[in-house]
């Protein structure tokens, strides 16, 4: 039997097996080809920054975030840095104190602005950092400042004090309204504004988050380290969002991306989902949600 025929038969048997076993996810490369988990780990471990784009309520995303982090740690050791959209920059002090063992989790959790699914979905990552003495960076802009941008544009940030500006990306923040992720936000999620017009400041608030996350990634990445960042998939899909700003701030940084998508069937990657990231985790649409 020719090699090509044997390969086709093998792939057919694998797909039949998947249909029978009902896998919780399938992993693909950016071209839509089936990828192996270890292949992904080998590829992303050579990058300076790894973006894990999650669906916030998806258990497969959260499970794989931990597994990928653990396996990256196996390769990088103390050179691994963790960071997340889910923590705002003004919580960094409390986060650092907790990671250094100054107090127990009940004190930490009472002080920090935690997402409602922290205990089920993110606590394990924080505890991993604490156990292994790894930095965990609160990268996101404080939500009160993002709200200011959404209300009145970037100009609203000019009134902040010097101390407040330490918690955001440097001003003025560059902004490209033609970037696909922001144009799509205007068309799909535009909030009503004056006279029924879309709120043009809504995607600017998203950009303020992206810029600030990129800023704190760059500020906390040393040569030879690997920074894994957890964020909503939209912040890093199509190599835009945070990555757009990361490349503005540090064009030399190498990036690897993972994203998560939902599909009715996961035996093949839907054409619309190809190219979203270096590796795409396809999860059944019927997968349970964490909240």
pLDDT in tens for each of the 291 residues of the chain? 455 565 566 656 555 555 568 899 999 999 999 999 999 999 999 999 999 999 999 999 999 999 999 999 999 999 999 999 999 999 999 999 999 999 999 999 999 999 999 999 999 999 999 999 999 999 999 999 999 999 999 999 999 999 999 999 999 999 999 999 999 988 765 444 445 567 889 999 999 999 999 999 999 999 999 999 999 999 999 999 999 999 999 999 999 999 999 999 999 999 999 999 999 999 999 999 999
Query: What pLDDT was estimated at residue 22?
Result: 87
Give domain status of residue 150, yes or no. yes
How far is 226 from 176, CA to CA, in rounded Å?
28
- 232 Cβ contact partners less than 8 Å away, ≥ 6 residues apart: 53, 54, 55, 56, 85
Dihedral sign for Cα 206, 284, 31, 258, please: positive
Query: What pLDDT was estimated at residue 194?
Result: 44
Give domain status of residue 15, yes or no. no
Query: What pLDDT was estimated at residue 254?
Result: 98
End-to-end Cα, the chain, rounded Å: 51
pTM reported for the whole predicted model: 0.90
Residue 51: count of CB within 10 angstroms of its CB: 30
Give domain status of residue 257, yes or no. yes
Our count of domains for the chain comes to: 1
Query: What pLDDT was estimated at residue 186?
Result: 84
Q: Cis link prior to 172 (omega < 30° from 0)?
A: yes
Give domain status of residue 235, yes or no. yes
Give domain status of residue 56, yes or no. yes
At residue 175, the 3 state secondary structure works out as coil
Query: Residue 241 belongs to what domain range?
Result: 23-284
- 47: domain CATH number is 3.40.50.11550
Give domain status of residue 2, yes or no. no
How far is 192 from 70, CA to CA, in rounded Å?
43
The two structure tokens encoding residue 289:
């949600």
Give domain status of residue 3, yes or no. no
Sheet holding 80-88, edge to edge: 26-29, 279-284, 255-263, 49-54, 226-232, 80-88, 136-140
Give domain status of residue 17, yes or no. no
Query: What pLDDT was estimated at residue 50?
Result: 98
């Amino acid at each position: 039997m020719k090699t090509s025929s044997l390969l086709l038969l093998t792939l057919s048997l694998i797909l039949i097996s998947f249909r029978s076993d009902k896998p919780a996810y399938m992993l693909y490369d950016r071209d839509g080809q089936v990828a192996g988990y270890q292949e992904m780990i080998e590829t992303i471990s050579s990058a300076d920054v790894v973006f894990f784009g999650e669906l916030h309520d998806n258990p497969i995303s959260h499970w794989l975030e931990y597994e990928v982090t653990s396996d990256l740690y196996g390769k990088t050791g103390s050179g691994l840095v963790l960071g997340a959209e889910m923590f705002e920059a003004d919580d960094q002090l409390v986060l650092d104190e907790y990671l250094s063992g100054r107090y127990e989790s009940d004190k930490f959790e009472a002080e920090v602005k935690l997402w409602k699914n922290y205990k089920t979905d993110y606590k394990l990552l924080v505890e991993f950092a604490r156990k292994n003495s790894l930095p965990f960076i609160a990268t996101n802009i404080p939500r009160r400042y993002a709200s200011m941008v959404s209300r009145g544009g970037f100009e609203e940030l000019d009134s902040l004090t010097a101390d407040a500006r330490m918690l955001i990306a440097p001003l003025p923040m560059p902004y490209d309204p033609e970037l696909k992720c922001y144009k799509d936000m205007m068309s799909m999620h535009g909030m009503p504004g004056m006279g029924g017009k879309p709120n043009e400041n809504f995607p600017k608030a998203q950009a303020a988050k992206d810029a600030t996350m990129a800023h704190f990634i760059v500020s906390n990445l040393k040569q030879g380290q690997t920074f894994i960042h957890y964020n909503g998939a939209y912040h890093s899909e199509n190599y835009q969002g945070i990555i757009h700003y990361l490349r503005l701030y540090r064009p030399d940084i190498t990036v690897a991306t993972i994203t998560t998508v939902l599909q009715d069937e996961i035996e093949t990657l839907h054409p619309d989902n190809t190219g979203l990231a270096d590796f795409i985790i396809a999860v059944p649409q019927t997968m349970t949600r964490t909240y």
